[in-house]
Amino acid sequence: MKQWRPVSPDVWQGRDDTQEAANALRLFQTTTRYSDFHPDRTDEDIVLLGFECDEGVKRNHGRPGAAQAPDILRRSLANMASHKDQPSLADLGNIFVSADDLEGAQQTLREAVLACQRADKRTLVLGGGHETACGHGLGVLDAFPQKKVGIINLDAHLDLRHAPHATSGTPFRQLAQYCEAQQRAFRYACFGLSMAANTQALLDEAAKRQVTIVDDLCCLNAPETALATLHQFIAQLDIIYLTVDLDVLPGWQMPAVSAPAPLGIPGAQLLRLIEPICCSGKLRAVDLVEFNPAYDRDKQGASLAARIAWQIVRWWG
């Protein structure tokens, strides 16, 4: 596969407590790293992929650095506990951008996700900027052409921008256009939206596309209303693709993103939204995007992002 490479064995390292007890295990001991890309030959139900890309962030005039995120997030995951009741992971490596060929990398991610889904694997992708969502979302839509596929975006931004080329701000407009061309419904919900960070033009585009929006103030001040809207959205779907833009978290909790949120939804409250999605039986694909290690403080952001990913895997199981 072009623009793909396996993960270095040095990434999955951690503290070994097996002298204490045989079941004192961590993820680095239960995650299988593969040196080639054959999802149909893996025993694990969840496939981990990295998308080493911040070309879309650069094109969107953001702060580059997210291309370094996948392996750093793996390192934070590696030392977390691996319990008997959570599924193990198959690490199938990283897709990267060659020169500035974002579109080529997105196509490779799309094909990789399609191959995984066709092999009946669930996909967990570590971005990368939010341009990750275009390739990941297309792969899921391709895999389930006859199903009602819904996109749930936990994000301060709609990412429905008009632009002459793909950026980190355009993925859901691209997915909407794809659905339109395929004459299938575009089912998209954004939770945690900052009204202050989205122009009227973006809100108009969302209204045109019949996007479900629950803003950050509703999530913070009326969490039961937000959850009720979420359950209503889930009930319409056969398949869910969940994308978590880490800038939905408060800047004090997640400084390591291109655009830190002045308000945001704290991690514990965000997990209240994530749990019913994971437990719905409809979730097939998840990504965490926009983590930028260049702006992290004492690995604070990496630890929180990894904890969210760990919790998703646990609930997914």
Could you give phi then psi for residue 250, rounded to 5 degrees?
A: -65, 145
Distance (Å, whole) CA 11 – CA 33: 10
Beta strands 4-5; 89-96: pairing state:
antiparallel
How many Cα atoms within 13 Å fall on the side-chain side of residue 88?
A: 13
> How is residue 196 annotated by DSSP?
G
Residue 247 is assigned to a ligand binding site: yes
Residue keyed to tokens 């030392």: 79
User: Which residues make beta-bridge pairs with 150?
Assistant: 187, 240
> How is residue 257 annotated by DSSP?
B
Residues in the chain: 317
Q: Name the 3-class secondary structure at 262.
A: coil
Residue 130 is assigned to a ligand binding site: yes
Annotated binding site for Mn(2+): 130, 155, 157, 159, 245, 247
Annotated binding site: 130, 155, 157, 159, 245, 247
